[in-house]
Chains A and B, each alone.
Chain A
Amino acid sequence: MKKIVLSLASVLFLVSGTAMAAESLKIGFNLPLTGDIPKVGESSRHAAEMLKEDINAKGGLVVGGKKYPLNFIYEDNESKAESAVNVALKLIERDEVLAIVGPNSSKQAVPAGGTCDDNKTPMISPWSTNPDTTLNRPWVFRAAFLDPFQGPVAVNFAAKTFNAKKSAVIFDISNDYAKGLAEIFRDEWQKKMGAGTVVAFESHGTKDQDFSAQLTKIIAAKPDFIFIPNNYNQVALIVKQAHDLGWKGPFMGSDAWGSAELMQLCGNDCVGHYFSTHYAAAGAKGATKEFIDRYSAKYGYTPDDVAALTWDATNLVLKAIQDVGKVDKNVKKQRKAIRDAMAAIPEFPGITGNMKFNEEGDPIKCAVVVRISEKGEFVFTEQVCP
């Protein structure tokens, strides 16, 4: 008996020994697992785990005829800018990852992008839409469209759907994403409708819970709709308080609304409103539908846009590694090769749409506008392509 146990143990040891010997490809994930938007981090991790399991079940990623198992390292940036920089450094220095996926929110992606660019490590942000994330940073890429594109989409859609002439904006001033998009929206709206047509432009802080004074000002200015380019957790509070103050008009949102947690927090108050986003889960086809079905079966909820974008972003990194065609022992050389391969990808058929990359590393892709249905689903309403 003892012998059997011993031999079993040694077999196990040998097996694990060989598994260790096969070199794994390390990819870092810089995600908001706690803090203001934990659901975003969770969705990203779920999508990445699903992809990793797919590939590792087949023995690993095939690079130059050899199979390498994937090793994904998830680190929490607490949804804070300074922590995102620390996480990037930790992944680069300690874990010696080949590339980093994330951070998601522009608030963290803009500073972390600088860190990755300085340290010559390829980084791809799945969800960041602020132009500064990749601007003049050859090592930084993204899978999402940009706010200068998203802003006009929201402007045109709202002008047409709500038949609106006057708009109002409320946004989080300490969030790069919200502030950037709010300003783009304001400029674009005034270009279209004339000066003074943004009748209220109000801001608040990240930790604020009461928005009644700002909303009173907005409602008194009588806009045709309110634009809220904020994270979903704030959206839930703002929309509800606006209703308490007697607002009955429509809201227009941006892609930061599109979390699986929005409806849980906002409930009926959000039903019937619109936001621009990266993809619409309800009514998807082909590879996108397959992803949605598998994700829903595995984790029990419909994947939000950040899950789909993480899937695309991670696939882009893997494709770049495959394009390099070999795995160099020297991490620095390998990172350089991956960056060059990523920059050379001309077009990528992602589940969030087809992407073409420009010289800044930004994809040129379509945006969709969705309506929040009575069942809490995000229903496709319109697609806008550049």
Chain B
Amino acid sequence: MEILVQNIFNALQWGSFYALIALGYTLVYGVLLLINFAHGDIFMVGAYIAFFLTTFFLGEYGVIAPGSLAGVTILMLAVPLTMILTSMVGVTLERVAYRPLRDKGAHRLYVVITALMCGLILENGNLALLGASRKKFPELLEKTVWTFGNVSVTNLKVMVIFAALLVFLFLQFVVTRTKTGMAMRAISYDKFAIPLMGIPINNIIVFTFILGSGFAGLAGLLFAMSYPILEPYMGALIGWKAFIAAVVGGIGDIRGAFLGGFLLAFVEIGVVAVFPSTLRDLMAFSVLLIILWWKPTGLFGIAKTTKI
């Protein structure tokens, strides 16, 4: 029983990261029908931005009052700054790589390939710029381990889970309850009619990228705090898996990405808890395959008919 509770906490924490990244995939897909394969690497860039902010800007080697800021203060400042800077990276990618292709009327496939290339450029650019050696993320919060019987939870774990939940509620609100959200949903239906309604299509797209990348930055910061070793390829695998989670949840739907992320984490951790850990990915993805087989559009996806 205690093992079960402990593993539920493990899965909730791990799933929070999948969910936060999957939300970014799904936002961009929901608007542009574009799979932004660079998203996992934007997450990685977010973690590095957080590293530089907390170490060289605010932290012990910082420009501002080195060593005198408390960890909590640094964290409070680092969260918005990381999100702003990471969203700028995302918007830059949109402006430099995706928009020119879209303006030329390129097929979506080419934009997806461009996104893949952008991801590789971010990874290898980082490798060239900062070298291969790993970075250690500083400890910002005094770690508290709460133990109930044999169940242990850290304050960080609780924070991560709450952050993921809040981000989900916020995005769900933005997309379904605001005018901008309505415009975002509308663009995916008809890219040509929407500008005629007076909706600035490019602004909405930029806004989408700001949202998606900003929360990838937040995920990067939280991830770096939970798993404090940074390397240029850290976003690749988790990005791929989060993408699969988004597809299983029904890509384009906020609820789908959120649930998909947690579903993948629960299956992964559940497999390891019961079977030999070697079988984790094999069984986890077999389960996801069966879900897609049963519902090819994902849990929340709606089948669309394309008119010819």
Contacts and interface: CB of A to CB of B under 8 A. Distances in A.
A212 interface: yes
B136 A220 contact: no
Contacts of B227: 209-210, 237
Interface stretch (B26-34, B85-93, B228-236): B228-236
A203 interface: yes
A105 to B, nearest CB: 14
Interface stretch (B108-116, B145-153, B162-170, B287-295): B145-153
Contact of A216 (B3, B131, B133, B147): B3
Interface in B121-179: 127, 131-134, 136, 139, 143, 145, 147, 150-152, 154, 156-157
Q: How large is the interface on A (under 10, 10 to 19, 20 to 34, 35 or more residues)?
A: 20 to 34
A34 B132 CA distance: 5
Given A212-B10, A233-B229, A217 B3 contact: yes
Given A38-B132, A207-B237, A213 B277 contact: yes
B6 A216 contact: yes
Interface of B: 2-3, 6-7, 10-11, 13-14, 127, 131-134, 136, 139, 143, 145, 147, 150-152, 154, 156-157, 227-229, 231, 233-234, 236-238, 268-269, 272-273, 276-278, 280-281
Contacts of A212: 7, 10, 13-14, 269
B150 A220 contact: yes
Interface in A233-259: 233, 236-237, 240, 243-246
Most chain A CB within 10 A, of B132, B150, B233, B281, is at: B132
Contacts of B156: 244
Nearest to A208: B237
A244 B229 contact: no
Contacts of A193: none
A332 to B, nearest CB: 35
Nearest to A221: B3
Contacts of A237: 227, 229
B7 A216 contact: yes
Given A34-B127, A209-B234, A217 B273 contact: yes
B133 to A, nearest CB: 5
Nearest to A204: B277
Contacts of A315: none
Contacts of A205: 280-281
A213 B229 contact: no
Contacts of B131: 34, 38
Given A204-B277, A212-B10, A217-B272, A236 B154 contact: no
B267 to A, nearest CB: 11
A174 B234 CA distance: 17
A243 B139 CA distance: 14
B21 to A, nearest CB: 13
B233 A240 contact: no
Contacts of A207: 233, 236-237
A265 B147 CA distance: 26
Given A220-B2, A265-B134, 10 more contacts: A38-B131, A38-B133, A207-B233, A209-B238, A212-B13, A212-B269, A213-B11, A217-B3, A220-B3, A246-B145
Contacts of A264: 136
A132 B276 CA distance: 26
Nearest to B4: A216
29 contacts: A34-B127, A34-B132, A38-B131, A38-B134, A42-B133, A173-B278, A202-B272, A202-B276, A202-B277, A203-B276, A203-B277, A210-B14, A212-B7, A212-B13, A212-B269, A213-B10, A216-B6, A216-B10, A217-B277, A219-B150, A233-B231, A236-B229, A237-B227, A237-B229, A243-B145, A245-B152, A246-B151, A261-B134, A265-B134
Nearest to B279: A203
Contact of A213 (B154, B237, B268): B268
A219 B145 CA distance: 15
A214 B7 CA distance: 10
Nearest to A236: B229
Nearest to A79: B132
A39 interface: yes
Contacts of B150: 219-220, 246
Contacts of B6: 216, 220, 245
Given A173-B278, A213-B269, A244 B152 contact: yes
